[in-house]
Amino acid sequence: MSEPQSRTLPSSLIDAHFWYYPVVAHPPRHCLLVRVTHWITTLCFLALLVSGIELVISHPRFYWGEEGHSLTPALFQIPIPASRAHVKTGYDFVLPDQNGWSRSLHFQTAWIVVFTGLIYAAFSLRSGHLRRNLLPAQLSWATLSESFANHLRLMPPFTGGYNLLQRLVYLLVIFGLFPLMIWTGLAMSPAIAAGYPFVVELSGGHQSARTIHFFATLALVLFFVVHVLMVYLAGLRTRLLPMLSSRYPAPEEQV
């Protein structure tokens, strides 16, 4: 009996689509710095999310502009009880106030993210990681729409590298949403507002920065959920092991 023939694709087809295709290949191997910064950022994001939820519960009303408090009209309000009695939410009870530890954890963790992000950005520029693995080789509406449609159909992934849609989303998250979160977070700091008022002014005001911060968080949560789902669908061990140890799983491990 003849041995099975491996499937290959013309390089022109892969370059043109850079998308999902049922081809045998290894997932991308990540260097140590990328793996370390990835997991530090993941843990920090979860800590920021938990502490941020507690901060929202303390005042689940959002405003636009510079001023905003319980006696001013809200831009919108999350329909949950607050953890502070003076914040009127329509409920006749308040939740336990966790504002102390959550504010401290949020502030300290945010600075870890800032320094981790700076290290990652410097490495990406200096080593060529940004050019090789994140910047799209080609960009057109045809390839982008095809990538998006195949994602919705949950087609098996081409594992030879990041596809076009992945690259664009990673660029948006790393160089768009995370810097926006940091900027608006600084704009909510009284010390930054006093020393560098332009940070607040460019955000549209203290309360505008808080509202933008909230919606950017929702976008990051959506990315996190979809990212974990796609890793699971593409093969949890196949994708997770190279990010943990840079070792490809053995064939019997690829379940």
Amino acid found at 131: R
Is 113 inside a domain boundary?
yes
Is 8 inside a domain boundary?
no
Is 149 inside a domain boundary?
no
Write the pLDDT tens digit of every residue in 97-116. 898 999 999 999 999 999 99
CA atoms within 13 A on the CB side of 43: 9
Whether pLDDT at 128 is above 70: yes
CB neighbour list of residue 107: distance below 8 Å, 6 or more residues apart: none
Calculate the CA 8 to chain-centre distance: 33
Average pLDDT over the chain, rounded to an integer: 81
pLDDT at 232: 84
pLDDT at 254: 46
Whether pLDDT at 22 is above 90: no
- What pTM does this model have? 0.79
Whether pLDDT at 146 is above 50: yes
CB neighbour list of residue 39: distance below 8 Å, 6 or more residues apart: 243
Give the span between the Cα atoms of 212 and 231, in whole angstroms.
Answer: 29
Is 118 inside a domain boundary?
yes
Write the pLDDT tens digit of every residue in 154-163. 665 554 567 7
Name the least confident of 91-105, 135-149, 153-167.
153-167
Is 56 inside a domain boundary?
yes
When divided into structural domains, the chain yields a total of 1
Whether pLDDT at 235 is above 90: no
pLDDT at 161: 66
Read off the pLDDT of each residue in 70-75 and give the average, rounded to a whole number. 90
- The candidate with the shortest Cα–Cα distance to 48, out of 95, 98, 108, is 108
Is 15 inside a domain boundary?
no
pLDDT at 15: 39
Whether pLDDT at 127 is above 50: yes
Read off the pLDDT of each residue in 114-128 and give the average, rounded to a whole number. 92
For residues 252 and 142, the model is more confident at 142
Read off the pLDDT of each residue in 43-60 and give the average, rounded to a whole number. 96
Is 101 inside a domain boundary?
yes
The CATH number covering residue 178 comes to: 1.20.950.20
Is 124 inside a domain boundary?
yes
Going by pLDDT thresholds of 50, 70 and 90, the confidence category of residue 243 is confident
pLDDT at 29: 65
Residue-number span of the structural domain to which 87 is assigned: 27-135+160-247
Read off the pLDDT of each residue in 14-18 and give the average, rounded to a whole number. 38
